[in-house]
Structure 1
Amino acid sequence: HGARMSNGSLAMGEFRAPFEAEVVSRLRRAGCVLAGTTTSPEFGTSYSTESTRFGATRNPWNLEHSAGGSSGGAAALVAARVVPFAHGNDGGGSLRVPASCCGVFGFKPSRGLMPSGPMVGEGWAGLSTAHAITLTVRDSAALLDATAGMDLGAPYAGPVQSLPYVNAAQRDPGTLRIALIEQSGTWPTSPESLAAVREAAQLCESLGHRIEPVSLPVVLPEFLDHVFTIIGANTRNHIDMLGRMRGFDVQDAELEARTRIILRDKGSVSGAQYTAAVEWIHALGRQLATFMQDYDVILSPVLTREPARIGELVVPDMSLSLEDMIERSHRYSPFAALFNASGQPAMSVPLVWSAAGLPMGAHFAGRFGEEGVLLG
């Protein structure tokens, strides 16, 4: 209680949390010793953990490259074996992208499975959920056992398995039908990333699973415009709330260009526009659920290329349009955010390394509520 919270932003100053999150309380009750907080990009909206406040969080495997984002500090510490696991949130790939960059395990649970209280009912209209980055699958499962389940007053809850997740992680899932998606249909997957996901598919085949190549059933630019409508309105609300809590408004000079572009283009959307975006996202969830009636798991790359270099994803000024900014980040990771929209469980598994010696995670998504299939 009372830990300093920066959200990677100068605007947060020396802000201290006025309450303890339920997920933190559950970790404490499970016997976890909390060592500190880790870095993130400002308000968690970048796939690279670089901020004016803290500078760059570097990849432990190659310091010229990024640790990913937004939970880049968490992934870097776990990859460097400083801690066995680190908590994070995932609203568009924020656990899975840094896990891929750093060669560790990143798991995003189903929507509503993890507590978000006492202050938040749902993060980013249900896009965001909490969990962790770990060294092992078993550790991730054990943390789910310690933290999953509805908290007091939650607006909705996801299904919790009766079997302990640790047991599910050690159970043979049987022969799985795996849909392999190699290309986003909008931005190309590099030859190296393509080879990595095919290697992951071959490994799955060698374990007895069935692989079927398919096409992505979503138009990404339209999807991402709706996602950023939700992010923009929520970021505006977050910054306004921060101003009220500290007693004076947040000024533009306290915010990075990336945040200001999001606020400029999406911070003042109408209620009707916001509702339309949420409804579009929910319709996508139903579309993907229908698609997955024929498959147990979707396999894709986490990233379309090896981890970005430091500075590559930074937005230096306000000259970029929001569309260009979205393209810069999501041509890098076009797949992860889909499963925040659908609420399905998804994970980055460190299976392959690039020719330059950098990790390249394989991305697996399961059916809603079927964490055990992925963990197994």
Structure 2
Amino acid sequence: MWDMSPLHAFGDDALGELDAVGVAERIASGEVSASEVVDAAIARIDAVGPALGAVAARAYDAARAEAAAPRPGFFSGVPTLVKDNADVAGLPTQQGADAWRGAPAAVDGDFARMYRATGVVVLGKSQLSEFGFSASAEHPRLGAVRNPWDLDYTAGASSSGASALVAAGAVPLAHANDGGGSIRIPAAVNGLVGLKPTRGRIAQDKMMREMPVRIVADGVVTRSVRDTAAFYREAEKVYRNLKLPPIGDIAGPGRRRLRIALVTESVGRNAAPDVAELTRGVGAMLEQMGHRVEVVAPPVPDSFADDFLLYWSLLSLYSVKMGKRTFGPTFDASKLDNLTLGLARHCRRNLHRLPLATARMAASKRTSAAFFADYDVVLTPTLAHATPRIGHLDPTQPFEVIMERLLDWVAFTPLQNATGDPAISLPLVRDAQGMPLGMMFAAQQGHEATLLELAFELEEAVDFAAIQAHQPL
């Protein structure tokens, strides 16, 4: 038994307990209007948003005006938020920081433009950790983004605000993006479905596209597999990368039995014993379903963790050094947190190692392709140990303390950001405290359909935990 105090906004309004597909169908049938749905979402955001610390900016007037005559598309009239590191016309892009005063974007960025074309109505922007660098959003002045399952715990990061609001029922889906696990980590700790797509699958803003190794991928967090599948189906109608096989309309489990590699170890960082045991339990369930599961060593070179950290720190050094040029004359680096500044220092001290590290990062996709010649899917825990409480990853701590704790927790997700492979976190189990614990499945580039079919099969077998129906186990 445990004592938890979930916070949610589910109720008897136009949103009810429906997922995004259900809301879209309800609007399309005329049972409710887009305006009613948007008003319900605004009320829900205002009810839970302050306690969660999940909202970065609001655009209620624009959303209400749009809901009166919503754009066409499958998700016409469905309310959502965009993460505050993607441009939305009329709102500043603050990147989870307060080190400058951002001007409102003149136009939507490439992602928001594609997203709106599916019919969604944007109510505002969701909060993230500073520049998305930490796996927990705990800003010293903006506050922490808290987990609706228990406000004493982190909502993960960097897509923390999006995940907290979707889990709490404020909106049925929200934009998220992932440069080291930032879709999958908050999905895992909030009990959501979070798919990081193949590199290049989804339209992205210019800053994301121009990275030396394009580690960031955009997507959504949802409460159901069908919402995630529907988003990628509809996004593909708007933006299609012809170098990748189409995902198509995945609507249920696949028939093919898969070769699944089970991994509970990473480079120098292993899953905690309880998490490893839960992962093996999922593997056993998959075997009962007829899949072939084999325990294997991690398909990661020994240099990977150091290489990824150095490349990650390059992004911080760029943000610090180019701050005034990128964010404007009000940029003040002294207001950045210890994690951002520590990463920048790490990069400066190791610049001589950066070319080789970046080359090995870029080459990791070849190692991955060779591995997937023998397996269809890799199963790992999304995170190496249970969800930490607020304060564990407080960015005002010394850099070395924060980084050691981050590396200990986020041991499995960065690999797919380097390789460009797709990976999905599913809310299949809960930890000893009753908090959601995600399990991650990765596949070869372009094979999101395989992951979605497996996700549908698992969703049928395991009832995903619903915060509004929470009962102690």
The answer (yes or no) to whether the contact 2:137–2:158 under 8 Å persists in 1 is yes
Q: Distance in 2 between the 1:357 and 1:124 partners?
A: 40
One-letter amino acid of the counterpart of residue 275, structure 2: S
Mark the CA change 1:192 to 1:246 in structure 2 (over 3 Å): closer, same or farther: closer
Cα drift, residue 122 of structure 1: 3.8
Cα drift, residue 27 of structure 1: 1.7
Q: Which moved more, 1:173-182 or 1:229-238?
A: 229-238
Q: Distance in 1 between the 2:329 and 2:127 partners?
A: 25
Show the 5 A alignment for 1:110-121.
Answer: 110-121=198-209
Q: Distance in 2 between the 1:103 and 1:255 partners?
A: 30
Per the alignment, residue 427 of structure 2 pairs with 350
Per the alignment, residue 371 of structure 1 pairs with 448
Per the alignment, residue 207 of structure 1 pairs with 289
Cα drift, residue 196 of structure 1: 1.6
Mark the CA change 1:34 to 1:123 in structure 2 (over 3 Å): closer, same or farther: farther
Show the 5 A alignment for 1:292-303.
Answer: 292-303=372-383
Mark the CA change 1:269 to 1:216 in structure 2 (over 3 Å): closer, same or farther: same
Q: Distance in 2 between the 1:178 and 1:169 partners?
A: 22
The answer (yes or no) to whether the contact 2:118–2:238 under 8 Å persists in 1 is no
Q: Deviations over 1:103-141 (max 9, x none)?
A: 100100001111113454244621111111111111111
Q: Distance in 2 between the 1:245 and 1:68 partners?
A: 27
Partner SS state of residue 442, structure 2: strand
Partner SS state of residue 278, structure 2: helix
| Structure 1 residue 197 corresponds to structure 2 residue 279 | yes
TM-score under structure 1 length normalisation: 0.90
Q: Distance in 1 between the 2:255 and 2:410 partners?
A: 28
| Structure 1 residue 39 corresponds to structure 2 residue 127 | yes
The answer (yes or no) to whether the contact 1:239–1:250 under 8 Å persists in 2 is no
The answer (yes or no) to whether the contact 1:112–1:157 under 8 Å persists in 2 is no
Q: Distance in 2 between the 1:45 and 1:58 partners?
A: 17
Per the alignment, residue 17 of structure 1 pairs with 105
The answer (yes or no) to whether the contact 1:10–1:52 under 8 Å persists in 2 is no
Relative contact order, CA 8 A, sep 6+: which one is greater? 1
Per the alignment, residue 147 of structure 2 pairs with 59
The answer (yes or no) to whether the contact 1:8–1:41 under 8 Å persists in 2 is yes
Per the alignment, residue 223 of structure 1 pairs with 304
Mark the CA change 1:150 to 1:266 in structure 2 (over 3 Å): closer, same or farther: farther
Q: Distance in 1 between the 2:242 and 2:272 partners?
A: 38
| Structure 1 residue 244 corresponds to structure 2 residue 325 | yes
Cα drift, residue 187 of structure 1: 2.1
| Structure 1 residue 232 corresponds to structure 2 residue 320 | no
Q: Distance in 2 between the 1:44 and 1:112 partners?
A: 20
The answer (yes or no) to whether the contact 1:240–1:249 under 8 Å persists in 2 is no
Show the 5 A alignment for 1:157-196.
Answer: 158-161=243-246, 164=248, 167-196=249-278
Mark the CA change 1:116 to 1:274 in structure 2 (over 3 Å): closer, same or farther: farther
Show structure 1 runs of 5+ residues with no match.
Answer: none
Q: Distance in 2 between the 1:256 and 1:148 partners?
A: 38
Aligned length, in residue pairs:
365
Partner SS state of residue 205, structure 1: helix
Q: Which moved more, 1:184-193 or 1:303-312?
A: 184-193
Q: Distance in 1 between the 2:315 and 2:413 partners?
A: 20
| Structure 1 residue 316 corresponds to structure 2 residue 396 | yes
Partner SS state of residue 231, structure 2: helix
Cα drift, residue 279 of structure 1: 1.0
Q: Distance in 2 between the 1:76 and 1:124 partners?
A: 31
One-letter amino acid of the counterpart of residue 275, structure 1: P
Cα drift, residue 173 of structure 1: 4.4
Cα drift, residue 150 of structure 1: 9.3
Cα drift, residue 2 of structure 1: 2.5
Q: Distance in 1 between the 2:348 and 2:136 partners?
A: 22
Question: Computing the radius of gyration over CA atoms, which structure comes out larger, 1 or 2?
Answer: 2
Mark the CA change 1:334 to 1:183 in structure 2 (over 3 Å): closer, same or farther: same
Q: Distance in 1 between the 2:346 and 2:279 partners?
A: 35
Q: Distance in 2 between the 1:57 and 1:247 partners?
A: 26
Per the alignment, residue 409 of structure 2 pairs with 332
Q: Distance in 2 between the 1:143 and 1:241 partners?
A: 35
The answer (yes or no) to whether the contact 1:6–1:15 under 8 Å persists in 2 is no
One-letter amino acid of the counterpart of residue 268, structure 2: T
Partner SS state of residue 35, structure 1: strand
One-letter amino acid of the counterpart of residue 428, structure 2: L
Per the alignment, residue 134 of structure 1 pairs with 222
The answer (yes or no) to whether the contact 1:150–1:157 under 8 Å persists in 2 is no
Mark the CA change 1:130 to 1:123 in structure 2 (over 3 Å): closer, same or farther: farther
Per the alignment, residue 334 of structure 2 pairs with 253
Q: Distance in 1 between the 2:140 and 2:106 partners?
A: 25
Per the alignment, residue 6 of structure 1 pairs with 94
One-letter amino acid of the counterpart of residue 319, structure 2: H
Q: Distance in 1 between the 2:242 and 2:138 partners?
A: 33
Mark the CA change 1:208 to 1:246 in structure 2 (over 3 Å): closer, same or farther: closer
Identity among equivalent positions (%) equals 34
Q: Distance in 1 between the 2:446 and 2:221 partners?
A: 19
Mark the CA change 1:339 to 1:262 in structure 2 (over 3 Å): closer, same or farther: same
TM-score under structure 2 length normalisation: 0.72
Q: Distance in 2 between the 1:267 and 1:108 partners?
A: 30
Q: Distance in 2 between the 1:286 and 1:62 partners?
A: 41
One-letter amino acid of the counterpart of residue 302, structure 1: T
The answer (yes or no) to whether the contact 1:297–1:365 under 8 Å persists in 2 is yes
Cα drift, residue 242 of structure 1: 3.9
Mark the CA change 1:119 to 1:354 in structure 2 (over 3 Å): closer, same or farther: closer
